[in-house]
Amino acid sequence: MLKDKLKNYNLILASSSPRRQAFFKELDLDFEIRLKPIKEEYPNRLRHFEISDYLAQLKSLPFKEELVVNDILITSDTIVWHNNQALGKPKDEADAFHILKALSNSTHEVITSVCFTSKNSQKTVNAVTKVTFKVLSDEEINFYIKKNQPFDKAGAYGIQEWIGQVGVTKIEGSYFNVMGLPIHLVYETLNEIAYL
């Protein structure tokens, strides 16, 4: 399938996320992991998917000089968009509680952008999923934070974890996007690249 089409390419996943790495394994793709630190900062004027697009592209910059022909570098970023602002990863327990309290009894958007960079070109795609939470009690929020320590997750939660199982009442769009990678878009885009 896709693996055969991409046999002349070298896929590089620039992500330390175990979830994103697992997704690539499940797509049955050969890939290597390369990591470089980057400050995830963006201009204040950016809104909605502009933020995740910008950050996904920003993450590709440290690799630009070392890419060779047939390399495809994949970088991505996920944000939670709620009440016209981006919610990133919580700084500590108090911040995680504050974020989850804000998401309680409301609908927010999870936006993931994926950037595909080769030596001579770059393409960025994104997906938006609407997620609705029931009213979350303080007790439930505190239990989840203690149990799952969601400090590496945008919006302070993982939909596949306890809080998602008991708290999410509605989802519109890709479930895997909320987990951190819109697999259908990655598959589609890599198929397109393979035919170029």
Residue 71 is which amino acid? D
In angstroms, what CA-CA distances link 107 with 59, 80, 85, 92?
A: 29, 11, 13, 23
In the structure encoding, which two tokens stand for residue 187, read together? Answer: 């598959």
Residue 48 region, left (φ>0) first, then alpha (ψ -120 to 50), else beta?
left
H or E element at residue 110: strand 107-117
Neighbours of 104 (CB within 10 A): 16
| Residue range 137-163: mean pLDDT, rounded | 96
pLDDT tier, 195 (very low <50, low <70, confident <90, very high otherwise): confident
pLDDT number for residue 1: 82
pTM above 0.75, yes or no: yes
Tally of CB atoms within 10 A around 128: 17
- Domains located in the chain, CATH noted: 2-195 (3.90.950.10)
Q: How confident is the model at residue 3 (pLDDT cuts 50, 70, 90)?
A: confident
Catalytic residue set: 77
> According to the model, what pLDDT value does residue 191 have?
94
Rounded Cα gap, residues 119 and 72, in angstroms: 8
